[in-house]
């Protein structure tokens, strides 16, 4: 996706990665956004999320533009917060094969409740 003229969301299989040239270092890469949206699969109401993603790269890094476009794709999908977090973890782990990854997803208050789901893979 980097360098391309992308005009819409992408699927998980289109996530780009770039080489991590420091595999011996103990690095943590973190992304965060409060612009993630999806909708409730039961009511159709929009859900707004805060995403905190962190991972320990092995050989590949997630390319940030591709990640933005991937996240954009959830705005038209119905998903419960717990399933959304688990789906993201599976997709992102498959894309970059990190040593560890944590998806920390908070659904903003709706109906008086805030919902937080944290899912992990490997050496978080």
Active site amino acids: 40, 47
CA 11 to chain centre: 12
Element (H, E) at 83: helix 81-96
Question: What letter would DSSP give residue 24?
Answer: T
The DSSP bridge partners found for residue 62 are: 17
d(CA 69, CA 15): 9
């Amino acid at each position: 996706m980097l360098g391309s003229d992308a005009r819409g969301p992408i699927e998980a299989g289109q996530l780009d990665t770039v080489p991590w040239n420091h595999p011996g270092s103990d690095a943590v890469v973190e992304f965060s956004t409060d612009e993630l949206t999806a909708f409730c699969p039961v009511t159709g109401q929009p859900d707004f999320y805060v995403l905190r993603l962190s991972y320990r790269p092995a050989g590949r890094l997630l390319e940030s533009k591709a990640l933005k476009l991937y996240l954009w794709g959830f705005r038209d999908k119905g998903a419960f917060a717990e399933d959304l977090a688990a789906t993201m973890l599976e997709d992102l782990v498959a894309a970059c094969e990190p040593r560890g990854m944590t998806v920390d997803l908070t659904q903003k208050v709706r109906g008086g409740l805030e919902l937080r789901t944290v899912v992990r893979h490997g050496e978080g």
